[in-house]
Structure 1
């Protein structure tokens, strides 16, 4: 009875090892919420079947390099059959998960040699022993904790995993080499070919794992800082471009005011000479020019009005109805640059969503209200396809997931900068963004 119980626990721990691999994939490449029944069956078949097979193999030997390779192949085939892309990256993630778990197993086995005698250690390595369970349990608990911390604190890394794939390839190769090396060391100790001393090997393995993971973490942090700097530079370029466009627009207005004097003189000449046909024809021509260059005042805030006119013209050129419902703003605590990024990104996203519609009415509604010291902004647009949402975040349908999403991130950054509140919702085939600043 005890043997059956121990075997059941070992099977569970082996299944947990495979389950942890899939949890890592759920954080990176695999979207759990959108798995169909067939894909779920494939995953759980992989977890159960391979967990049972590995557990029985561990009754014979503590670790088998051949079984390790077969496990990677089996899980890799199951996963690639679901995702169907990023094959090398999938293999790298699986190698990292399985290798780290196996290295932790070796680490605890090495350290346990300090308190266990030689026959007991040999029985753990190549026989059936209940002493294997604490080692396997500790390794998987640590992996579970690490995965939890990665999900909580490494969100940016996980979402942009494709950018760091080369680094993951290198780390996975290093871990496999390290695993093979310490497997050989353990075998030689167990079979008496080298001195029986697990403490030195255990501490060296621990040190190497800490160094590798620390270097990995520092390198990833460095890449993230570079990306942040690039983003800030692009933000400054966007601000400069908006200001330049504004100045060009204002200069064009001055030029048009100057031209009006000459146009009025021509009209007066036609009226004075009684050439009413030419008068009407010329008036029609300049009326079209006035309409084309109209720069309407919506709020009284020059930057915001410029952006609204610019985006409204861009939307109407793409046959998108653009309605503006605002109150006088004049001034706000937000800087001109932050306003241009905030409103510009939101309206660009709305226009892009409308462009993707195959049929139906395409529209955008911009609302802005100011009450005492509070500012409320609401942007709604029509939808063709309901966006996917995961953990409160929008999932892109674009092929390039790396470059997508920084517009919305910059919006959230600005909202947080001014202690505002940001929310979005999907209501009756319409996407709605609400922002409020209470100070």
Structure 2
């Protein structure tokens, strides 16, 4: 009697733990717990106890019930949608994936138990209400879920994963089909309609799940790379637009400088006739438009010269010595948009690194040379904080890495597109970036 009571209590505890971890998984991936209202927390607590008790009662009768599995998922999806009001498809996908994964883990350890106790499987696990073997299986699968949840919390998870909702939906459907398939297999084995083949089922299940996870990782990674590429292209377009606007302003200033003599004649005429009020209005009119910019020629490539000069002004304002050693170029392989992104990010990185140098010895040196069909670009700058290298690639040192680091990726994408070569080197507190284009 005492053993039966203890078994029921343990089943209730494991079922409550499962539902509690479900909400912890949601908090770690898509729900801000701190923003929940009191009534929302109460509703979630009620759902934990209600579904937990129903699961425990059902598992006291049968190892796995597909009807209870579906009812539990539907109930929690509706509760979650009522509380959070997020995208229904996204909430349904996340819920199906979670409970399907728990069920598949239950089947995995059940097949493992079948290999150990063989003919006693039906009596001790499938139909038994509170045998220790059954409780151990539930405990092992939920312990695995707890480890996965701990990893998600430890390494952090992106809270904007709802953009992958259709990928998650497909994964959830596949997992639920697997659950149904293996539920039929395990019930047939328990009822004697099929030969006990725990080892074969265990191997087939492991292979199928491994393949599905592998395909899922490839799919998600491909989607992330596509989004990153779109972000890089958009960033390059914005940079190009910004520099084009600045070039236009520079052209307007050149026109104003050219027309200065005409402005002097007008000013002299107003002074001669003592029309001081009109003179004041005229001076205000031209001063509002006049932004003096002295155009400089470094390479003969208009947009590149403008970027080099604009970054020189930024560097000097930050107290950075800025030297340019270049020559007139016959051409560059990149488009205007790519030129803006490549040199803009390259020089921005150098300036940011120099700004972190606490001593007065901070400088940037730019060398651009062209020989025959070879274009060589070299940027040297002082730095203080060591750079992070991962798999041979330098990463951003900014704190918010999820929203930074696109500049480095953008440069590499452009260089690779034109079959060039980009290398990085650290030498005695000097960071060297070398870019080489061939067949220019």
Q: How far off its partner does 1:327 sit?
A: 6.1
- Residue 200 to residue 210, structure 1, CA distance change in 2 (3 Å): same
Partner of 1:303: 310
- Residue 144 to residue 293, structure 1, CA distance change in 2 (3 Å): farther
Partner of 1:137: 139
Q: TM-score, normalised by structure 2?
A: 0.68
Structure 2 residues not aligned, in runs of 5+: 295-307, 324-341, 350-354, 364-399, 410-429, 432-440
Partner of 2:319: 329
Q: How far off its partner does 1:331 sit?
A: 4.4
Partner of 1:186: 186
Cα offsets for 1:71-96 (capped at 9, x unmatched): 11221222112111211211111111
Q: Answer yes or no: is the 8 Å Cα contact 1:246–1:303 preserved in 2.
A: no
Q: Within 2, Cα distance between the matches of 1:410 and 1:125?
A: 47
- Say whether 1:288 aligns with 2:285: yes
- Residue 146 to residue 253, structure 1, CA distance change in 2 (3 Å): same
Q: Within 2, Cα distance between the matches of 1:90 and 1:410?
A: 24
SS in 2 for 1:117: helix
Q: How far off its partner does 1:161 sit?
A: 1.1
Q: Answer yes or no: is the 8 Å Cα contact 2:345–2:408 preserved in 1.
A: no
Partner of 1:260: 260
Q: How far off its partner does 1:369 sit?
A: 11
Q: Answer yes or no: is the 8 Å Cα contact 1:341–1:410 preserved in 2.
A: no
Q: Answer yes or no: is the 8 Å Cα contact 1:242–1:340 preserved in 2.
A: no
Structure 1 residues not aligned, in runs of 5+: 308-325, 343-366, 376-407, 418-437
Q: Within 2, Cα distance between the matches of 1:5 and 1:133?
A: 11
Among 372, 377, 402, the residue aligned to 2:360:
372
SS in 1 for 2:116: coil
Q: Within 2, Cα distance between the matches of 1:230 and 1:142?
A: 37
SS in 1 for 2:261: helix
- Residue 374 to residue 162, structure 1, CA distance change in 2 (3 Å): farther
Q: Within 1, Cα distance between the matches of 2:190 and 2:104?
A: 17
Aligned residues between the structures: 338
Partner of 1:114: 115
- Residue 369 to residue 187, structure 1, CA distance change in 2 (3 Å): closer
Task: Give matches, 1:193-232, under 5 Å.
Answer: 193-232=193-232
Q: Answer yes or no: is the 8 Å Cα contact 2:270–2:278 preserved in 1.
A: no
Q: Within 2, Cα distance between the matches of 1:148 and 1:368?
A: 36
Q: How far off its partner does 1:341 sit?
A: 7.3
> Please, what is the CA RMSD of the aligned residues?
3.5
- Residue 225 to residue 368, structure 1, CA distance change in 2 (3 Å): closer
* Larger CA deviation: 54-63 vs 34-43: 34-43
